[in-house]
Amino acid sequence: MTETTIELSQHVQASRELAWAAWTEQDRLARWWWRQVPGTTIRADARVGGAYRFENVDAGFGVTGEYLEVLPLERLVFSWRWIDGGSVGEAVDTVTVTFTEEADGTRVTIEHVTDAAGVADYELGWRDTVAHLEAALA
Query: pTM of the entire structure?
Result: 0.94
* Residue pair 7/111 in contact by the 8 Å Cβ criterion: yes
Share of the chain above pLDDT 70, in %: 99
Q: State the chain's mean pLDDT as an integer.
A: 93
Amino acid at 84: D
pLDDT value of residue 1: 64
Q: What is the mean pLDDT of residues 18-25?
A: 96
* Residue pair 116/125 in contact by the 8 Å Cβ criterion: no
Segment holding 28, helix H or strand E: helix 26-32
Structure-model confidence comparison of residues 93 and 137, the more confident one: 93
Class of domain 3-137: alpha beta
Can you tell me the distance from the alpha carbon of 111 to that of 74, in angstroms, rounded to the nearest whole number? 14
